[in-house]
Amino acid sequence: MVSGISRRGVWSAPFAGRNGRRVSAVCSALGALAVLSAGLAPGAAAADVQSQQWYLSAMKADEMWKVSTGKGVKVAVVDTGVNPNTPSLKGQVLVDEVPEAVGYKATEDYKGHGTSMAELIAGTGADDGLKGLAPGAKIVPYRIALTGLSKAEKKNAPTLGNVIRAIADSDAKIISMSFGGAIDFPDVRAAVKYAQSKGKLMIAATGNEAEGKNVIGYPASYPYVVGVAAADKSGTVGKFSNYGNYVDLASPGLDAPTWCDNTFRSYCNGQGTSQATAIASASAALIWSAHPDWTANQVLASLIDTAGRDWAKDDPSTYLGYGLIRPRKVLENSDFNPGPANTDPLAKENAAGVTDDPSDSPSTSASASSQPGKSTSGGQTSAAGASSDTSDDTTMWVALGAAATALLIGGSTFAVFRSRRGA
């Protein structure tokens, strides 16, 4: 196997699975930051949502919860807003901790996406809702502006850079960003650097465009941001999941249920690097809760050291980075050594610039170690165009406040499997 193009990692236990179906992706001429979930597909039978959360068994969540549930860790979810009133999130969302300056309608989720991510992280599972991987953690919600809002709301919505800075000045430890895009904005880059200086662990989706025009995604490709790819039950990366040298880890992202929409009546079965990012954020919360004195560097180093892979650690895969997250491997060893507190585990990637060179594609055997790392340059990258013939696309565009760009919430195919309330 050539590690640079490896498409498969190793879970704690093997699972038979499938690769991802096609995910629609559209990047505008202005550039897109992508929040990366899946879309809607008909035909699935009704079922209990928790029974569809295959990754809880794959990751041995029951065993991990004996050691840590994420208690004491606050995760900032930057997304479409978070509804704190779903059964699974009651008592889990710290509404009063959102700074007023960047808290415009943070608890009004008009797409259902942010609420889904919050439940994947810290849902209690009440009333047969989603069970979060870190049910003891708490969510601090932030909403950035998406299309579909009125012009007045867009004007009032905070910019991404300001949101990241506000979180950096808070006591939230983890910033979960299930979005990404093709434009490098200096203010966002500076905010990311500031958050890193304040000890935050930033985790972001790499993107769902790989079956079209694979693109370099921000904020995942910024230095100090952990880029997360999506994998299936067998540990194989989804066909839609963006690849490149800015992919740092992989996480469950296929057949992962989320809310179908903002009516919060039913869950849908979907796929995307959005879900993968939320689950990776929850994994970090579990570890940080068990080791509250660790730094963000040490939490990340432990995830990298224990990641499932069958390639050399110093030669990360362009598809799965350092491998599949396995927080259980950290939690089961109370004497785990996370390394130095001030050593950046991604120093190699952060030292050089990201590229979308065709040599990153699956048709080549280029080693990831020969490819430049995360971008350290300023300015902008050009937007990449992609199209899809998927008829049930639920792609949504997100405006960056006053900025003339967009954040993409990518849609692929969902299957409705349980109705929570009457239509």
Quick: pLDDT tens for 264-287: 999 999 899 999 999 999 999 999
- Active-site residue identified among 24, 37, 68, 79: 79
Question: Could you give the CA distance from residue 71 to residue 55 in angstroms, rounded to a whole number?
Answer: 20
- Active-site residue identified among 6, 37, 88, 113: 113
Cβ neighbours of residue 245 closer than 8 Å, sequence gap 6 or more: 316, 318, 349, 354, 355, 360, 368, 371, 372, 373, 374
Whether residue 56 contacts residue 154, with contact meaning beta carbons closer than 8 Å, is answered with: no
Question: Could you give the CA distance from residue 202 to residue 106 in angstroms, rounded to a whole number?
Answer: 19
Question: Could you give the CA distance from residue 214 to residue 194 in angstroms, rounded to a whole number?
Answer: 29
Question: Could you give the CA distance from residue 322 to residue 329 in angstroms, rounded to a whole number?
Answer: 15
- Predicted structure pTM score: 0.82
Low-confidence ranges of the chain (pLDDT < 50): 1-4, 13-34, 39-47, 356-373, 376-423
* Amino acid 387: pLDDT: 27
**What would the two tokens of residue 220 be?**
């995942």
Beta strand 32-36 with 406-410 is parallel
- Active-site residue identified among 116, 274, 283, 367: 274
Question: Could you give the CA distance from residue 10 to residue 53 in angstroms, rounded to a whole number?
Answer: 18
Query: Strand pairing partners for 80?
Result: 143
Question: Could you give the CA distance from residue 217 to residue 296 in angstroms, rounded to a whole number?
Answer: 22
Is 79 a known active-site residue? yes
pLDDT digits (tens, 9 = 90+) for 344-388: 999 988 876 675 443 443 322 222 222 334 754 433 322 222 222
Say whether 303 sits in a helix, a strand or coil. Answer: helix
| Residue for token pair 């194989």 | 236
Q: What share of the chain is helix, strand, coil (3-state, %, to 5)?
A: 25, 20, 55
CA dihedral over 129, 227, 313, 310, signed as positive or negative = positive
Whether residue 158 contacts residue 128, with contact meaning beta carbons closer than 8 Å, is answered with: no
CA dihedral over 280, 176, 407, 413, signed as positive or negative = positive
Question: Could you give the CA distance from residue 331 to residue 335 in angstroms, rounded to a whole number?
Answer: 9
Say whether 36 sits in a helix, a strand or coil. Answer: strand
Say whether 93 sits in a helix, a strand or coil. Answer: strand
* Amino acid 9: pLDDT: 73
Is 291 a known active-site residue? no
Question: Could you give the CA distance from residue 228 to residue 216 in angstroms, rounded to a whole number?
Answer: 13
Boundaries of every domain in the chain: 3-346+393-419
Question: Could you give the CA distance from residue 302 to residue 330 in angstroms, rounded to a whole number?
Answer: 7
The phi, psi pair for 131, rounded to 5°, reads -100, 115
The CATH label, of 1.10.3720.10, 3.40.640.10, 3.40.50.200, 3.80.10.10, for the domain at 3-346+393-419 is: 3.40.50.200
